[in-house]
Amino acid sequence: MRKPLLLLVLLSMALAARAQEKLSYLLQTVDVAAYPNATFEVRGQVLIEDKARHGGAIACAVASLDKKTIKSHFDRYGMESYKPGAWTALSVSGRIDGQANKLSVGMFFSGRGRYYFDDFELLITSKGKTVSMPLGNAGFEADTLRPWYVGDYKEMANVRLTTDKARSGRQSLLIDNSRAESEVYGDNTRRGRYATVNGVRLYYELYGAGEPLLLLHGNNSSINAFSQQIPELAKSYQVIALDSRGQGSSQADTTRLTYELFADDAAALLDVLGVDSARVLGWSDGGNIGLLLAMRHPRKVRQLASMAAVLYNDDKSVSPKLNAQLRRQLTEMKGRGVTEADMEYRLKNLLLTEPHIAPDALAQIKVPVLVMAGENDIVRREHTALIAAKLPRATLKIFRKAGHEAPTEVTEEFNRTVLEFFAGRR
């Protein structure tokens, strides 16, 4: 495949996936001129040796190529859907454009990690018959990588055929991207730091200059959740973006997870950084943590902007469908052999069992608080109004045409609202 054409294919994939870091890719091209308007399915296997770093994603990808157009098809998978060390099947299907003469098939992926690939297959269905199209070196059993093309390999520590792990046969392809430099929010090798706090190593990143502003993300998330806020906030403040205990790149121990523990961690980190008090922006679980930080460590919080927080979890505070989904997910995880000590299990269980904040206890928060939610939020409107009503110095903001993901759904309005509040204009 000619390089300009390859780059166009990757660009179309990148735009659709909205990837925030450099993409790496594994592709080869197949002649499909004999199958106009046929349907296809590409299958592949991937094993991620350890949980990839923030922003990680992987996709099974196909692009229909002709002289004038490139039509891409792909399914994108977040890294949270993988069990480290286990082979996972990925696939993508679609229809070959009537004018296409070639398909470019393979994978693209982001996030620092060690990736193994094996057992690719291309199936084409035409006129009621399904045929398996030959892919070159589909199981990586040859002594050469060709005809596969690996992109960005020069920035990786190692790209090689290996017998260490193979789903079938004797070999698979290893792409070791674990040491590549990254400047992605939540995986910034230049700005990332660690601090030992309350017995665990917490990961944080610093951006901008000025008065400190602490960011607290949601459940089973990371600093990367604030990718659309950090650039704007860093223009006015020194942003301290924190991965909460056991999430992102922060360490965990066996201590029972509570929002009080997360709040104490945040206060201790500010102590380590020599910050007497900070503005705080918390989203979802981060909003819960922000409220408790202001209650348990009042001198640490100058102002608080809280997006979609809850005081407790019942059908009057959050959507009953969410709780039903969480219970079902926990049951399914146990069915797969996931133990209650698993961090993902612990974090989902946290959503069901915490927090336990009495509404009247909010009266002890004396600093200004911006209480936010989306009009279609999983947090019930009445509950958000209750939080605002119980806070002595609250400002209530409901984002129209947005839900729990308002910081990414109505980014400009959200950022403006937060900045105006911190500047004292709300």
DSSP 233-274: HTTTSEEEEE--TTSTT----SSPP-HHHHHHHHHHHHHHTT
pLDDT of residue 71: 54
What are the structural domain ranges in the chain? 3-176, 185-422
Tell whether the model's pLDDT for residue 180 goes beyond 90.
no
CA Rg value for the chain:
24
Annotate 281-347 with three-state secondary structure.
EEECHHHHHHHHHHHHCHHHEEEEEEECCCCECCCCCECHHHHHHHHHHHHHHHHCCCCCCCHHHHH
The yes-or-no verdict on residue 199 having pLDDT over 70 is yes
Looking at the predicted structure, is the pLDDT value of residue 202 above 80? Answer: yes
218 neighbors 286 (Cβ within 8 angstroms): yes
- Go through the chain and tell me how many residues it has: 426
Amino acid (one-letter) located at 410: V
Residue 329 burial (10 A CB sphere; 0-12, 13-18, 19+): middle
Give percent of the chain above pLDDT 70.
83
Tracing tokens 């509404």 back to the chain, one arrives at 359
Return the pLDDT at 6: 46
The per-residue pLDDT of the chain, averaged, comes to 86
Range 362-384 average pLDDT:
97
Which CATH number is correct for 3-176, 2.60.40, 1.10.10, 1.10.533, 2.60.120? 2.60.120
Q: According to the model, what pLDDT value does residue 258 have?
A: 98
- Helix 259-272 to helix 285-296 angle, to the nearest 10 degrees? 70
**CA distance linking residue 419 with residue 397, whole number of Å:** 13
What secondary structure does DSSP assign to 204-223, as a single string?
EEEES-SSEEEEE--TT--G
Mean pLDDT of 407-417: 97
Q: What is the pLDDT of residue 73?
A: 55
C-alpha 10/C-alpha 75 separation (Å) is 14
- Per-residue model confidence (pLDDT) at position 22: 57
The Cα 207–Cα 185 span in angstroms is 10
Topology at the third CATH level for domain 185-422: Rossmann fold (3.40.50)
Asked if the model's pLDDT at residue 33 lies above 80, the reply is yes
Would you say the pTM of this structure is higher than 0.75?
A: no
Nearest to 26 by CA among 187, 177, 134: 177
Confidence category of residue 57, pLDDT binned at 50, 70, 90: low
Structure-block tokens of residue 270: 């500010």
Cα 24 to its chain centre, rounded Å, is: 17
Give pLDDT, residue 37. Answer: 85
Mean pLDDT in residue range 266-278: 98
Per the CB < 8 A criterion, the answer to whether 195 and 201 are in contact is yes
pLDDT at 183: 72
User: Has residue 54 got a pLDDT over 70?
Assistant: no
Q: How far is CA 237 from the centre of its chain?
A: 24
